[in-house]
Amino acid sequence: MDVDVLTEIEIARPCAEVAAYAADPDKAPDWYVNIKSVEWQTKPPLAVGSQIAFVAHFLGRRLAYTYEVIELDPPHKMVMRTADGPFLMETSYTWRPLDTDRTHMTLRNRGTPTGFSRLMMPFMTRAMRRANDKDLASLKNILERKMG
pLDDT at 148: 59
Domain borders along the chain are 3-146
The CATH code belonging to domain 3-146 is: 3.30.530.20
Residues of the chain scoring pLDDT < 50: none
Helix extents (H) in the chain: 15-22, 28-31, 116-119, 121-141
* Beta-carbon contacts of residue 110 (< 8 Å; ≥ 6 apart): 1, 3, 4, 5, 89, 90, 92
pLDDT at 117: 58
pLDDT at 132: 96
pLDDT at 3: 86
pLDDT at 97: 98
pLDDT at 113: 72
Q: How far is CA 123 from CA 91, 99, 146, in A?
A: 19, 37, 34
Phi-psi map region of 59: left, alpha, beta (phi>0 left; psi -120 to 50 alpha): left
pLDDT at 122: 75
